[in-house]
Amino acid sequence: MTGHRLDDWIAARLGLDTPGAPGTAQLRATQLQRLNETLAWARRHSPFWQTHLAGTPDVLHSLDALAGLPLLTVEQVRQQGPALCCLPQGDFERVITLQSSATTGPAKRLYFTRDDLDATADFFAAGMAHIVPPGGTVLLLMPGDRPGTVGDLLGQGLARLGSACISLGFLRDVDALHETIRTHAVACVVGLPWQVLAAARAGGRIPGLTSVLLSADRAPRWLVDELRQRLECEIFLHWGMTETGLGGAVECPAHDGLHPRLLDLHLEVIHPDSGTPLPPGEPGELVLTTLARRGMPLIRYRTGDLARLLPGPCACGSPLPRLENPTRRRSPSLALVTGDLVDETVLDDAVMQTPGLLACRLELLTVEGREVLRIHACGGAMEDIAARVQAVPGCQSLPLDIRQHRLESLLADTPPKRTIRRIVHKEPLHAAV
Instruction: Tell me how far CA of residue 147 lies from CA of 85, 91, 96, 155, 244, in angstroms.
Output: 21, 15, 12, 11, 17
Q: How much is the pLDDT for 276?
A: 97
Q: What is the DSSP letter of 240?
A: -
Range 132-150 average pLDDT: 93
Q: How much is the pLDDT for 334?
A: 85
Q: How much is the pLDDT for 327?
A: 86
Q: How much is the pLDDT for 415?
A: 79
Q: How much is the pLDDT for 406?
A: 96
Question: How high is the mean pLDDT of the chain?
Answer: 92
Residues of the chain with CATH 3.30.300.30: 333-425
Topology of the domain covering 1-327: Rossmann fold (3.40.50)
Total Cβ atoms within 10 A of residue 45: 15
Residues 342 and 327: their CA atoms lie apart, in Å, by 17
Q: What DSSP string runs through 279-313?
A: -TT--EEEEEEESS-SSS--SSEEEEEEE-EEPS-
Work out the angle between the directed axes of helices 344-352 and 382-390 (0-180°, nearest 10).
150
With cut-offs at 50, 70 and 90, classify the pLDDT of residue 333. confident
* Higher-confidence position of 209 and 18: 209
Res 431 pLDDT > 50: no
Q: How much is the pLDDT for 332?
A: 63
Residues 117 and 148: their CA atoms lie apart, in Å, by 7
Quote the radius of gyration of the chain (alpha carbons, Å).
22
Q: How much is the pLDDT for 117?
A: 98
Q: How much is the pLDDT for 432?
A: 42
CB neighbour class for 254 (10 Å; exposed up to 12, middle 13-18, buried from 19): middle
Topology of the domain covering 333-425: GMP Synthetase; Chain A, domain 3 (3.30.300)
Residues 259 and 361: their CA atoms lie apart, in Å, by 32
Work out the angle between the directed axes of helices 150-159 and 114-128 (0-180°, nearest 10).
60
Tell me the residue length of the chain.
433
Res 429 pLDDT > 80: no
Res 237 pLDDT > 50: yes
Q: How much is the pLDDT for 144?
A: 86
With cut-offs at 50, 70 and 90, classify the pLDDT of residue 337. confident
Res 194 pLDDT > 90: yes
Q: Are 71 and 302 in contact (CB under 8 A)?
A: yes
Res 1 pLDDT > 50: no
With cut-offs at 50, 70 and 90, classify the pLDDT of residue 309. very high
Q: Specify the amino acid at residue 408.
A: E
Res 398 pLDDT > 90: yes
Q: How much is the pLDDT for 418?
A: 77
* Higher-confidence position of 104 and 221: 221
Residues of the chain with CATH 3.40.50.12780: 1-327
Q: How much is the pLDDT for 22?
A: 80
With cut-offs at 50, 70 and 90, classify the pLDDT of residue 154. very high
Look at strands 309-310 and 322-323 and give their pairing.
Answer: antiparallel
With cut-offs at 50, 70 and 90, classify the pLDDT of residue 328. confident
Look at strands 400-404 and 421-425 and give their pairing.
Answer: unpaired
Range 193-202 average pLDDT: 96
Count Cβ neighbours within 10 Å for each residue of 188-202 and write b for 16 or more, e otherwise.
Answer: bbbbbbbbbbbbbbb
- Secondary structure E strands in 80-185: 94-98, 108-112, 137-140, 164-167
Res 43 pLDDT > 70: yes
